[in-house]
Amino acid sequence: MRSYYDDRIVALSARLVTPFIQLFALYVVFHGHYSPGGGFQGGAMLAASFLLIRLSIGTAAAQSQFQRSWGTPVSSIGALVFLGAGLIVMFFGFNFLDYAGLPLGLSDPELRNAGILAIELGVAVTVAATLTAIYDDLVGEPLGPLAGGLDEPTVVAEADQVEGPEWDVEFGNG
């Protein structure tokens, strides 16, 4: 039986577009110092790339890209990076979130530049993982091909047997 996820055109175009979306998302995150952008926007685009794969080939097959169980820990890590950047400087006698106290051996403006990048990365990771996790929670159990795990026979395998004339190819000896 053909399932919703067996459309090759949708799956292929989603797979083709996803790396470019992710590259642009990283550009938006890292170029936030120089142009409009930053952690929230880049993280949302990163989540969009994950959700595109999930929508096109199914949540089950998309587990190899971003696993369902990663959502909560990864978003926690992002928030902890932000908090950590704020807390570390307190051990060096600076105010909370005053990046001039980061122990990197740079000048004050360079340290603030690095601190901004660090927290933008934390924000991006949190937003991307949280949005993906919310989608996964709404969907529930993974759907689509590979829903039973990699070892189980899948819907794709059945769909590969396309209806049509059967070609009997015989390789004779001559």
Binding track, positions 29-58, relative to another protein; x by CB under 8 A: ---xxxxx-xxx------------------
Q: Which position among 137, 148, 152, 158 is part of the footprint of another protein (CB under 8 A)?
A: 137
Q: In terms of CB distance, is 11 or 25 closer to another protein?
A: 25
Taking CB under 8 A as the rule, does residue 142 contact another protein?
no
Secondary structure of residue 137 in the 3-state scheme: helix
Please state, in angstroms and rounded to a whole number, the distance separating the CA atoms of residues 124 and 119. 8
Taking CB under 8 A as the rule, does residue 140 contact another protein?
yes
Taking CB under 8 A as the rule, does residue 105 contact another protein?
no
Taking CB under 8 A as the rule, does residue 156 contact another protein?
no
DSSP secondary structure string, 6-54?
G-HHHHHHHHHHHHHHHHHHHHHHHGGGTSS--HHHHHHHHHHHHHHHH
Q: In terms of CB distance, is 15 or 31 closer to another protein?
A: 31
Q: In terms of CB distance, is 50 or 82 closer to another protein?
A: 82
Both structure tokens of 172: 């004779």
Rg over CA atoms, the chain: 23
